[in-house]
Structure 1
């Protein structure tokens, strides 16, 4: 299989509430929806919707819309990766304010389904609900799919000449509820239920091939072709970002303690600590889009063990965008640490086009002689941004990244990587 990852999503059609032109990627609805940036229209910014209106809707007036009214958008899309082949899907996304827009974040409901030429399939339902005055936040994700990853085993610091594809079917269910305790600070709890089955079922004799999943599962006492990982979640979150899609300033910290339990169906008990930090500095008062951004993401196994396909690694964040320059799951281990620095800057005066340069580093351990932080795998690259909606700051991202061992690729998505 090629040592690169290429993902391109093309929106073919959208019917909704007069939005105009949309681009979309086949990823989960962002975890924290946005409030509109009402000042954008007064700064001379031009977005994809403006371009569309200039070209096709010169004499058409938009109907007035209530600030509390919702929306429903259909987003058919086409995607491609070396692992999945061509992917054809459709995304239905709905939004609504459950309180006054002045003090309540927009709630989002999303349904996505896709099939690919490599006989892979996905159904995903997500919701992110904010009650009036943001007193409660309810987040849920329900995934069912059949997929493939290019597997190269555990740990960093090792060049593996050939990847072994792992095909499997999965069900992932999670539900979290947060309570706003004081300004910018939330605490919550939840449940996660993950099931993996039909792992490597197409292989004639998995035991003789000795895949990484097989060796790890035998060593740690897991079934080789199916397993459960279900647990309790305790979450603490602090968020001062001015906007989650494309922040100019602020700090975001999320700490999750996950306890897999046999009485919930897990094969083994395990305790994991997951941490995330995002920090943004605006470098110019005249051009606040000129931003230095830092991202730290870590998952640490404190006790017990987790199944092979649950191990954290490249692409383990909610939108699978950790590690530009490498394929998903290129590096992984019982514990995994990642950090990235990105510089963002406008290119055109009307802010329709902007650019980024980035540098990232990741490290993972294994169960033998490789310890966390022993070896680092770097990735670097640059990208172009096309402003999709100036009010929500959402944009289309096109990045080219390179990494170690000849790894490189083009990565396309909606909204900033972090």
Structure 2
């Protein structure tokens, strides 16, 4: 009997010790997991590190209906972060209740030691967009009939937005080699194709002439599809410390694009893109107050471009210019855009001192239209607004931005995006 009692006591002690060991193991595992998480969070960036920031895409506007989908900001290092700038890409897939699809991938990557810059802009759109004619200024200055005369006694230009449905493919890829510190030179290939174009308000039989149709008739372009294929010569000067959210440095970009008919363009043409960005810290001991500047010009230097591929607002690589106007709201043979933005960090935590920020911006746009006798800088349209920034990746400096803006002619708009506008 005593042996049985001893065995029972020993068995209980064994279970007690095992329970304590298991409990200690659970505590140790929890602590190890916590320490690993902290180590990962505080790890110094190194080659191969990737930072991903997903974001649901939700919105609505009269042209697209209800919009839903997903976006992703990816940042990574292709070399030692001490000698290699961070690379960045934005990808998005969105659908709408009007059966539209928008897919984009836009990227700027730096190889090891910043030896090569790779720039990409890939898009597929099954979408729609209104157009308002050519040039900046009030709509009354841009009526089709002002620049394109149809001497049939009935034709008349449409005043106001003219909705168009289309499918669009874009493939741009540019590679630039470092020439010396900060300066790069290289070449690019460019392919744009609009097809299945439905000019919804066009009714030639009743004399309702849209800007798109009038331009195509005047310059000899097809109304249902258009293709532009080009090669470019490019130069970049870049001393920014981070392309997602620069605190200092400057950026300059020049691109001369040749679109010869013998490689697939509908008509031969050339264009010139000039761009400059600069960043100034108003509090030199930190980055809490930054004044940023951005300007670009897009010029038709020879030949004629298809209507939908003329210089237009929002047609920059990341489609971020022109707040609060819709993409393509202003279009012309030549265009100049300028914007300034004040950025201020307003609140943070010990873990993320740059968590919350605010911005205020102001921009101007001018576009020419030779057929309507609208000169560059003859008419200027402005936009201005405020925004909030939430830092969602401290190491990559990725911000979620929500902006609201006001413009001429009662225009207003809200924008949700990843990374800074420029």
TM-score under structure 2 length normalisation: 0.79
Number of the residue aligned with 1:49: none
Measure how far apart 1:407 and its partner are. Answer: 0.7
- Is the counterpart of residue 146 in structure 1 residue 126 in structure 2? yes
- In the TM superposition, 1:15-414 aligns within 5 A as 61-62=36-37, 64=40, 67-71=46-50, 73=52, 75=54, 77-82=56-61, 83-91=63-71, 97-107=77-87, 112-126=92-106, 128-159=108-139, 162-200=160-198, 205=203, 208-348=207-347, 350-368=353-371, 369-414=373-418
Separation in 2, partners of 1:324, 1:141: 20
Rg bigger for which structure?
Answer: 2
Measure how far apart 1:268 and its partner are. Answer: 1.1
Aligned residues: 361
Say which SS state the counterpart of residue 347 (structure 2) adopts: coil
Separation in 2, partners of 1:147, 1:293: 33
Structure 2 alignment gaps of length 5 or more:
1-32, 141-158
**Would the alpha carbon gap of residues 400 and 347 (structure 1) be closer, same or farther in structure 2, given more than 3 Å must change?**
same
Structure 1 alignment gaps of length 5 or more:
1-57
Separation in 2, partners of 1:217, 1:143: 24
Say which SS state the counterpart of residue 365 (structure 2) adopts: strand
Separation in 1, partners of 2:255, 2:193: 20
CA contact (8 A) 1:91 1:113 kept: yes
**Would the alpha carbon gap of residues 71 and 258 (structure 1) be closer, same or farther in structure 2, given more than 3 Å must change?**
same
> Which sits farther off after the overlay, 408-417 or 68-77?
68-77
CA contact (8 A) 1:206 1:214 kept: no
CA contact (8 A) 1:72 1:92 kept: no
Number of the residue aligned with 1:46: none
Say which SS state the counterpart of residue 324 (structure 1) adopts: coil
**Would the alpha carbon gap of residues 204 and 364 (structure 1) be closer, same or farther in structure 2, given more than 3 Å must change?**
closer
Measure how far apart 1:262 and its partner are. Answer: 0.3
Separation in 1, partners of 2:131, 2:117: 36
CA contact (8 A) 1:78 1:86 kept: no
Say which SS state the counterpart of residue 263 (structure 1) adopts: helix
Measure how far apart 1:157 and its partner are. Answer: 1.4
Q: Deviations over 1:35-93 (max 9, x none)?
A: xxxxxxxxxxxxxxxxxxxxxxx958416478334448583623324122222324466
CA RMSD of aligned residues (A): 2.5
Separation in 1, partners of 2:214, 2:317: 27
Separation in 1, partners of 2:417, 2:310: 24
Measure how far apart 1:116 and its partner are. Answer: 1.4
CA contact (8 A) 1:333 1:365 kept: yes
CA contact (8 A) 1:362 1:378 kept: yes
Say which SS state the counterpart of residue 156 (structure 1) adopts: coil
Which one has more relative contact order, counting CA pairs under 8 Å at least 6 apart?
Answer: 1
Say which SS state the counterpart of residue 272 (structure 2) adopts: strand
Measure how far apart 1:205 and its partner are. Answer: 4.6
CA contact (8 A) 1:237 1:255 kept: yes
CA contact (8 A) 2:389 2:399 kept: yes
**Would the alpha carbon gap of residues 108 and 373 (structure 1) be closer, same or farther in structure 2, given more than 3 Å must change?**
closer
Separation in 2, partners of 1:200, 1:169: 10
Say which SS state the counterpart of residue 318 (structure 1) adopts: coil
Separation in 2, partners of 1:398, 1:76: 13
Measure how far apart 1:406 and its partner are. Answer: 0.7
CA contact (8 A) 1:186 1:238 kept: yes
Say which SS state the counterpart of residue 232 (structure 1) adopts: strand
Measure how far apart 1:173 and its partner are. Answer: 1.1
Q: Deviations over 1:11-36 (max 9, x none)?
A: xxxxxxxxxxxxxxxxxxxxxxxxxx
Separation in 2, partners of 1:201, 1:404: 26
TM-score under structure 1 length normalisation: 0.79
Separation in 2, partners of 1:203, 1:151: 11
Q: Deviations over 1:149-192 (max 9, x none)?
A: 12111111123663111111011111211100100000010110
CA contact (8 A) 2:259 2:265 kept: yes
